[in-house]
Structure 1
Amino acid sequence: MGRRAIVLLVALILAGLAAWAVWQYLQNLESEVAAGQVRVTVFRAGPGGISEGAEGSTLLTGFNAAARCKDPEADMAAAQGCPIKASYDLQGNVPVGYIDTEEKLRSVLSGKIAAGPIAPGAILTETGWVEVTALSKPISEMIPSGKQAMTISTSNVQGVNGFVKPGDRINMIITLDVEFSNIPVAQNVPTLPTEGETGGDQETSDVTVTYTRFVLQGIPVLAVGTEIRPDETNTTGQVPATPQGEEDAATGSTVFTLEVTPEQAERIAYAFENGSIWLTLVPPDFVEVETNGVIVDNLFGGDLVEAIFGRR
């Protein structure tokens, strides 16, 4: 064997010894780290991952259907078809809020959906799941056919001081100035000229009357602030919840999203653009009431001119 071959052989042996020494060092280091930690049970997303909005109850059904899904000793390759896989990990490696028991898994996932996509093998946590709420579906899907959603805002006093809640019904009162043109000065109301009178020579003027009346009654409230009424088609028996951090904003809000017809939407828009609006809250058994409205002449329940000056 030549000198060069001997040198090469020695170099290979030394390289092998160095690699073995490094590997042994890392193994010892890992063992030392692991010795101070506890191995805990975790639950991971299966090989196919978990999509955003996936129902926890459906995932639990798939998890309970196969024993291999519940075996923490089985590797991920053996967990094909498992939406959730039991596993082990070192306590120092697990995220905050991890799920460590089947009982907790059922408690966290039941009646909830995935808040976002979960990668295959990722450890499941409590914060990765949210309540099934009205916000889980587009609000447009909650609007009945032929209706539209329209948002209005009032002051606290004009909006019933924040006592209106999603699912309630409200009435809308408008006060606006109505202008009547070409009313003869000498007459209180317009009249047709008698025979021989043209009426064209009479002095006329414009009269403005402040008028208050219900413009719409029994309007369904779809949402108040960001709090949406319960979905009437929800068959799970769950009531939509206000997302965390938005509850205070929804409480006492006077921003209302109403369920209206196109014709009602036009009337509401006109009312807000041209008058002052007040809302009233009505009971569940409310029935629309016909009113004549109020002007200054009948504000006190009679003829104001007669009350002040007497009968003439």
Structure 2
Amino acid sequence: MEKNVIFALYTFSTMMKKTILLLVAALCGVLTAAAQDLIVKTDATKVEAKVTEITPDAVRYKRFSNPDGPTYVLPVADIDYIQYANGEKERFRAAETVPATPLTPATPVGEAPVAAAPAAQAPVQQAAPVQYVAKEYQIGEFYDQNGVKGVVCMLTEDRRHGLIISLDEIYLPWSEFRKPDLRVAGADDRIDGMGNMEKVAAYIAENNLAWDDFPAFKWCRDKGEGWYLPAIDELLTIGHNYNGGTRIHSNRQARNRFNDALKDNGGKRMDRLVYYFSSTEKDEKEAYTTHTGIEPPYVIEIPKYNKFLVRAVRKF
């Protein structure tokens, strides 16, 4: 009888251990599935994210709650540290170091002095984390980062981010639809070319169409992630910047700097005589276009099925 009781207790204890191990394994699996990167900014705000790219200037990431959404860019200077999903922590801001004060042990009163121990080695100072200096760009400067190449055509106020334009250009129609099949795709935003690209993508999906039906958009999209056909106001700003920031007078030096950056890196100079298609449509028949010359009119409407120049842009 006593042996049966002992055997039952042993069996129960073994089963409990196996159950606990299974629960721990399941919990680890859940935690792993929910793993995410945590970006902590210098102002202590936190961003739950999936980091996709780190450069000396910026960190690119997608929000953890929307992994298929847009890619965001955060300057390295605004980041304190990143806690990665595997538990590793990378600091981007050097911590303040306080010099160590050597400790001198007190000798009790009346106690015979003891032979001095070997001198302690001086504490080894750890090297401060590398500090990256964010680059400031200029209009007309060649941009080459992580395989992305173009010429800077728009800048933010801090000159660290902006827009680049493709080195090449091509003659293409905005869309292939003609009478009686003219249609409005909904790409009516004047300032957000990427937004127009998303509207065209939705229109294609809803109407069982293909990107081949929108050649100008397809050419920009085929350049890779982030490239798009600029909106009309973006193209107008590019035209002003190409001419030195104004079209009131001719600035050949600014244009030459811009064109040299294109040509010297295997691209083609901007055309001042031919209109460029924007992604902004006027109606079912026409889309807005502009040129880079100094003489108005700067904006005219052209049938979408006609072939005009196309350049792609990308944010950085």
Shorter chain as denominator, the TM-score bin is under 0.3
TM-score by length of 2: 0.21
Higher relative contact order (CA 8 A, sep 6+): 1
Mark the structure with the bigger radius of gyration: 1
TM-score by length of 1: 0.22
User: Normalized per residue, which structure has more helix?
Assistant: 1
